[in-house]
C-alpha cells in the first residue's frame, strides 16, 4: 500500500534544470528522431498524465500514474515497485524466504520425531497429520525457491542500481548496440549503466544512507539517484 514514488507534476525540471536546459529537453522530447524511441534513460512526456517524467520513470497502466524508478507492477501486492518502496518490496521477499525456510525446518523436525515413543494407535492418528504437514511443507519448500530467487535477483539489481526494465534494456543494448541506454564498457559485450555508482552507494540509494536501518522497514529511502533526476 506504500506509495511507489508517484511523479506528481513537471516541477522537478525547475529544481534540477536551468531554463535553457528545460527548453532543450522539451524540444528533444517532442522530436521523434531524438526522443521518440523507447528508452527509460531519457526525459519523456506522458500524454496520459500530461507531465514530463524524469529518466527512470515509467507510466503504469494498472495504477494509471507515472512512477519514479519504476521496476514493475507487482500483482502480489497490487502496487507498483518504484523508488519509494523498492526497499520494502525486497525486505518482503527476503523475510518471506526466511520464514519459508524456518517453517520447512520445523515441519521436517516434527515429521522425523513424530512417531517416537508412540503406540500403534497414536501412530495411526498421527499419520493423517503428518501427511497434511508433509503436503504443506512441499508447497512451502517450492515457495522458498520462488521467493528466494526473486529476492536474490532484486538484491543483485540493487547492487547495480538497475531496475528490471533497465537490466533488460542493457542486455538488449549489449546484444544489438541500440537504444543508446548506457555507454560502452572496456569489457567486450558489456554496457555500463549510467546510474551505477559502485555497490555501496547503489545500495544506499535504495535502502537508505544508514546501513543499520537497511534490514528494517522504516524510513524514506528515496534519493535523487534512485529517482533518476541526476545521472
Burial class (CB in 10 A: 0-12, 13-18, 19+), 77: middle
**In the annotation, is 74 catalytic?**
yes
Q: E strands, the chain, where?
A: 44-46, 51-53, 58-60, 65-67, 72-74, 79-81, 183-184, 191-192
Interacting residues of 167 by C-beta distance below 8 A, sequence separation 6+: 157, 160
Q: What does each C-alpha distance from 228 to 67, 98, 142 come to in angstroms?
A: 11, 32, 36
- How does DSSP assign 158-183, residue by residue? HHHT--HHHHHHHHHHHHH--TT-SE
| Under 8 Å between Cβ of 161 and 196 | yes
Burial class (CB in 10 A: 0-12, 13-18, 19+), 1: exposed
Q: Distance between CA 170 and CA 193 in Å, rounded? A: 8
The one catalytic residue in 60, 74, 80, 100 is: 74
Q: What is the DSSP letter of 136?
A: H
Residue with cell 559485450: 189
**Residue numbers annotated as active site:** 74
Amino acid at each position: 500500500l506504500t506509495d511507489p514514488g508517484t511523479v506528481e507534476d513537471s516541477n522537478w525540471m525547475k529544481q534540477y534544470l536551468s531554463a535553457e536546459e528545460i527548453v532543450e529537453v522539451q524540444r528533444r522530447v517532442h522530436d521523434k528522431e531524438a526522443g521518440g524511441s523507447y528508452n527509460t534513460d531519457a526525459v519523456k512526456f506522458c500524454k496520459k498524465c500530461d507531465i514530463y517524467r524524469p529518466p527512470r520513470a515509467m507510466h503504469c497502466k494498472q495504477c494509471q500514474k507515472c512512477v519514479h524508478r519504476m521496476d514493475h507492477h507487482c500483482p502480489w501486492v497490487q502496487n507498483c515497485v518504484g523508488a519509494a518502496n523498492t526497499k520494502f518490496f525486497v525486505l518482503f521477499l527476503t523475510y518471506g524466504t526466511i520464514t519459508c525456510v524456518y517453517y520447512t525446518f520445523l515441519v521436517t523436525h516434527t515429521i522425523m520425531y513424530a512417531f517416537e515413543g508412540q503406540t500403534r494407535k497414536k501412530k495411526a492418528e498421527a499419520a493423517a497429520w503428518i501427511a497434511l504437514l508433509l503436503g504443506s511443507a512441499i508447497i512451502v519448500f517450492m515457495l522458498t525457491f520462488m521467493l528466494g530467487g526473486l529476492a536474490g535477483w532484486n538484491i543483485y539489481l540493487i547492487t547495480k542500481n538497475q531496475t528490471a526494465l533497465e537490466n533488460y534494456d542493457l542486455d538488449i543494448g549489449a546484444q544489438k548496440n541500440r537504444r543508446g541506454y548506457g555507454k560502452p564498457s572496456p569489457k567486450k559485450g558489456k554496457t555500463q549503466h549510467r546510474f551505477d555508482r559502485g555497490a555501496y552507494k547503489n545500495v544506499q540509494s535504495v535502502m537508505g544512507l544508514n546501513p543499520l536501518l537497511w534490514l528494517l522497514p522504516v524510513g524514506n529511502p528515496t534519493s535523487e539517484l534512485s529517482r533518476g533526476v541526476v545521472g
